[in-house]
Amino acid sequence: MGTIRPLKLRSPLLAAIAINLTLIGVRTASYRPLQTMEGASSFVIEAVASLLTAGVLVVVVGSLADSRTVLKPASVAGLGGGSLLVIHMALEQFGDHVGEDSLMTLAFMVAAFTTWAGAAYLVARWSFQIIPGVLAGCWSAMTSVVVVVTFGLALTFFDVPRASYVATWPEFKASGWADPQAFSIANSFENASTHIVVALVVGFVMASGGSLLAWMTSPRSRAAP
């Protein structure tokens, strides 16, 4: 079986991060009212900084982990988790906003997080090592969040959510901003940075838990003195 070069698995993620940075730049430049809103630049800076941090971690984790035994299965799990998060976001924005239900949100989050822990568990179980499992779980989390952030930023070009709906938000009314569409775009930028930070933290926790569980239940660990 041929080997998989790390660059083949890192490149799509890095390309997606670059696309997200471009989306932020283009959307900010194309909607001038956003530039006049007080504090709008902080939303842009936070989103850009979080994406750059994710890019650095992609390079680091991709350099440390084996492509075939760690990154490949983790990428598959990450795409699965990312798909769940995209479905949830679509339910939030469309379909009468049914995705805003707290129980449904929790269900989708737990399902996505489980895919990250599952990737860590399987890799740690196969390798009989904790570190490869942790790397797999973290890679899976980064893959998922890049997928959902790309979807969320793309929606800003279609004025989703609608300005009329954003105008009803308590957060918008308390912000002092006069333009609900500008607030919607800034909110999407904030969601992007929040998703990335949460994915990095929760991804590491789930990856560690899945890896430790695999190690503790491994026949080798039970046979160790």
Please determine, for residue 41, whether its predicted confidence score (pLDDT) is greater than 70. yes
CA–CA dist 125, 130 (Å, integer): 8
User: Assign residue 176 a region: left if phi > 0, alpha if psi is -120 to 50, beta otherwise?
Assistant: left
- What average pLDDT score do residues 141-165 get? 92
pLDDT of 90 > 50? The answer is: yes
Query: Residue 67 — very low, low, confident or very high, per pLDDT cuts 50/70/90?
Result: confident
pLDDT digits (tens, 9 = 90+) for 164-180: 889 999 999 999 899 99
Query: What does pTM read for this prediction?
Result: 0.89
